[in-house]
Amino acid sequence: MKLVSCRHIDIANLKGAIVTNTNGAQFYVLGFEVDVESHTINIVMQPTDGSGPIGLLWDHIKDWTIALQPIHWLNDILTITK
């Protein structure tokens, strides 16, 4: 299978993705928050080690990698955080 690189995807497709920072730590994407006053987007993530959710500005993760996941993984993550 040949995949075509794409720079634009629907933001909803990022929910449940796994992002990895430059140190190798991994996080599940839970969702996004938009600050309408400062025109910024925060990404809400759950570390894969199960610790509490965190939020970071979208601009702060530009050097991280992302792996899209099936949506059922998100349901498993949300169950863990309850």
Distance CA 19, CA 44 (A): 11
| pLDDT at 67 > cutoff 90 | no
Distance CA 25, CA 80 (A): 18
Please tell me the predicted confidence (pLDDT) of residue 58. Answer: 92
**pTM > 0.85: yes or no:** no
Q: How confident is residue 2, by pLDDT bands cut at 50, 70 and 90?
A: very low
Condensed to tens digits (0 to 9), the pLDDT of residues 11-62 reads 888 888 899 999 999 999 999 999 999 999 999 999 999 888 999 999 999 8
Condensed to tens digits (0 to 9), the pLDDT of residues 6-24 reads 667 778 888 888 999 999 9
